[in-house]
Amino acid sequence: MKMKIIRLLNRVLAKFGYHLDSIKTGTIFRSEHVHDPQYSYTTDPLLKNKLSEELSAIARPFLKSHFAGLIDPVSFSPEQITKFITLFADRPYYNNTGGSGFHNSFWIYLFSSAFQPDLIVECGVWKGHTSWLFNQAVPAAKILGFDINLRRLEFSHSSADFIENDWTEYQFSDIDPDHSLIFFDCHVNHAQRIIEAKERGFKHLLIDDNPPLHKIYSYGQPGFPTAQMLWDSQYPEEDPFSWVWKGKSLQAKFNINQAQEASKLIKRHLVFPDVGGPTRFGGFSFLTYVEI
């Protein structure tokens, strides 16, 4: 009930650029995310369609080229993209700071709606924005969401079960690898996660926060090593590896044997194209599809 009240209040406050974070503490802050579609978007249907056509010109050839036979090409038409733009602007969970923004959400929605998996597993739930997104894209799918802390979770639905634990503690049964999808957004070692997915019979993975080694500075603490590093066989020479992010010195340990084992499992590694140019919204995406 509290979350419903917060969402209703935030619909009103959002018009003025404010957000209520907690009823208990009464925390209200002004949002400065002026390029978020919650605040900045066109209302003219013809102009919205024009943007959709530009996005389709990027998405359609990429998906057709790399996923022929796996996905339904009708699902990434300009009409489907227009539907997503409207859906995202009207989303019920406004403040998703720290989670997926427009560009990641664009590809998550488009790919999953085209793929139509029966089972979707999320490792790293945060507030449930992507759980809601998956539910909108694939209403018939069963969603299993895992997070070691579900205190910030806002989304709930009869088709979604959320478990406050690591996904390795769950006993899976009757997995159909051709009709299941995993989304890793948990900032855990990608080599470890890829090995775990293979051991449980999964095949299709979406991985967030996946920079190559020489762009690690663009993230706070991604899963290290990332899938991109495994695919490129680009490993650090020092252990622990260090870098600077927003003035902070960060470090991550590295297991070369585990990395080499995981890299052998990767059959395909595809980074979804950036769509920040056409939208002019802030942020970027390193969302990646991995087949094992």
Pairing state of beta strands 241-245 and 248-252? antiparallel
- Cα→Cα distances 286→87, 104, 115, 202, Å: 22, 8, 20, 21
- Say whether both 190 and 136 belong to one domain: yes
The C-alpha atoms of residue 68 and residue 92 are separated, in whole angstroms, by: 33
- Say whether both 140 and 24 belong to one domain: no
- Span 216-226, mean pLDDT? 89
- Say whether both 82 and 210 belong to one domain: yes
- Say whether both 176 and 136 belong to one domain: yes
- Say whether both 23 and 107 belong to one domain: no
- Span 206-223, mean pLDDT? 90
- Say whether both 8 and 115 belong to one domain: no
The yes-or-no verdict on residue 6 having pLDDT over 90 is no
Q: How many domains does the chain have?
A: 2
The C-alpha atoms of residue 92 and residue 84 are separated, in whole angstroms, by: 14
The C-alpha atoms of residue 192 and residue 225 are separated, in whole angstroms, by: 9
Pull the structure tokens for residue 260. 């080499």
- Say whether both 94 and 163 belong to one domain: yes
- Say whether both 251 and 280 belong to one domain: yes
> In this predicted model, what pLDDT tens digit does every residue of 238-271 receive, in sequence order?
889 999 988 999 999 989 999 999 999 999 999 9
- Span 145-162, mean pLDDT? 92
Question: Which of the pair, 206 or 37, is modelled with greater confidence?
Answer: 206
First-to-last alpha carbon distance for the chain, in angstroms, is: 42
The yes-or-no verdict on residue 277 having pLDDT over 60 is yes
- Say whether both 28 and 154 belong to one domain: no
CATH code at position 144: 3.40.50.150
- Say whether both 180 and 202 belong to one domain: yes
- Say whether both 173 and 53 belong to one domain: yes
**Mean pLDDT of all residues belonging to the chain:** 87
**pLDDT of the residue at 114:** 92
> In this predicted model, what pLDDT tens digit does every residue of 95-131 receive, in sequence order?
666 667 788 999 999 999 999 999 999 999 988 999 9
- Say whether both 21 and 90 belong to one domain: no
- Span 173-191, mean pLDDT? 95
Domain that holds residue 266: 41-291
The yes-or-no verdict on residue 136 having pLDDT over 60 is yes
